[in-house]
Amino acid sequence: MLAASLECSIVEYIFFEQYESYISLANALHVSESTVKRSIKQMNLFFEQYDIIIKARPLRFEGDENNIRYFFILYFTAKYNLIDLPFKKKLIYQLEQFYTLVSTIFRNKPTIQDRLNFTLFSAVAYEREKNNHPLVIRNAPKITFLINILNSLPTKFTHLNKIDSKSELDFWIRTFSLFTNNKTFNSTPMLSKNKQKKIFERTGIEQFLFLFSKIFKIELTDNERFTISKELYELLFGFLKPKNIINSLNNHYSAFYKSNDFFLDSYKILTKKIFVHCFSEELFPYFDFFFFVLTTHSISLLDNFYSLFAKINITIYIDFDFQFSIYVQNKLEKLLPGNMNFLLIDSADKLYNTNGISESDLFITNIYNYKSIGIAFKEIYILSHHISEFDIENITDIITEVYKKNYSGIILEGEEILKQYFNTDM
């Protein structure tokens, strides 16, 4: 529906400034001039709150240039999902070449997602600059690396055009402003590893990662810690930092935090508490995006934490055929998550002669009169001579409750750790 919307077509045509007048745009869209005017009037009511306006003669976007660029980054992401972007193929190719070249020189590990982000951000900026909508950069960064990259290497190798004048140089500085005017491509990668670590310590990233790892019992190597620190730094201070001023246009990450069932609701809350304690208030609006990336990009970290509480001891005793006990074990291992430690009992005598049975988190049996066994179990589930989908659902619920109980213990420990470090009630 987004791609077919009249308003979206109008927005896109005006962004590329292909039509100067209402009538020429109306003819291209096969609608009346009054329809175009009415749609633009309605859109301007929406854009007004972001200091953006569509003006005529020629048709163009004006207002807060940062907001305009950020809006179109969100727009093109939503409509094209970073694939087959509506920019000239030559431009896309050159931007991708530039990204690969810079990543190689700065020894950053290039990723598909970062390359797609860089290409979209820079393509949007390029179109705005080309159409004489320059971005005002108050604190122009050092751009020596741009000159070196584009001018000192052979064009045959870079596939990029040379910069021949100061005006052209300024044009590209503004085009790459999301990268040249931040600490991601501009300064941090050119610093030594020790100096980068000091930046992570000064900005609160080192403290966040220390507490996050300690509370959720995650063991990191020095290289893993450094790599994650760089990514978190880019999220909060670098080119991946979202512009919260248009937060209502970018609520996907907020929905991920509020609505997604991680099975670990306390994980969300405790992670936010760590974030609030480690970073300044001006960074709070970026937490949802930060949490999304931390959770989705660091699956191995959460897997390690998951293994600490997602474990259960299960005893199975079936009195009519021991093979059915083995069958039940295999079935549960294939269908249910977590680390399940099984104890299979093949005779009634062993019920009383096997250590640890009463300590099992779950006892599964087919004996309806289980009280006659004379052993007090934490949790019992009665099977018939088969295991149905209904049984699987019930056993899953029991196991989930055991996991949650284990998890709650870890969370309580985490709350105590935060109290110790920040000397405050949670």
- Residue-by-residue DSSP string for 249-265: G--HHHHHHHH---S-H
Beta bridge partners of 344: 316
Long-range contact pairs involving 109-116 (C-beta distance under 8 Å, separation at least 24): 114/240, 116/82
* Percent of the chain scoring above 90 in pLDDT: 20
Q: What letter would DSSP give residue 342? A: E
**Cβ atoms within 10 A of the Cβ of 67, count?**
19
What pLDDT was estimated at residue 73?
84
Phi, then psi, of 154 in degrees rounded to 5: -60, 140
For residue 58, whether the previous peptide bond is cis, meaning omega lies within 30 degrees of 0, is yes
Phi, then psi, of 206 in degrees rounded to 5: -60, -45
* Prediction pTM value: 0.51
Cα–chain-centroid distance for residue 34?
42
Q: What letter would DSSP give residue 4? A: T
Report strand pairing: 380-382 vs 60-63: unpaired
Sign of CA dihedral 281, 283, 285, 288: negative
Indicate if the pLDDT at residue 53 is higher than 70. yes
**281 to each of 276, 345, 395, 422, how far by Cα in Å?**
7, 58, 44, 16
Closest CA to 408 of 267, 295, 282: 267
For residues 369, 373, 374, 376, the Cα torsion angle rounded to the nearest 10 degrees is -80
What pLDDT was estimated at residue 275?
93
Identify which has the larger pLDDT, 423 or 40: 40
Identify which has the larger pLDDT, 159 or 290: 290
**240 to each of 232, 306, 328, how far by Cα in Å?**
9, 28, 48
Closest CA to 212 of 230, 195, 225, 198: 225
Residue 181 near residue 235, CB atoms below 8 Å: no
**420 to each of 201, 209, 267, 417, 426, how far by Cα in Å?**
20, 16, 19, 5, 11
List pLDDT tens digits, range 66-119: 888 888 888 888 788 767 889 999 888 888 887 777 777 655 666 676 778 788
Which pLDDT band, with edges at 50, 70 and 90, does 15 fall under?
Answer: very high
Long-range contact pairs involving 36-43 (C-beta distance under 8 Å, separation at least 24): 36/10, 39/6, 39/7, 39/10, 40/10, 42/7, 43/7, 43/10, 43/11
Pick from 67-76, 252-261, 304-313, 405-414: least confident: 252-261
Phi, then psi, of 220 in degrees rounded to 5: -120, 140
Q: What is the mean pLDDT of residues 17-43?
A: 91
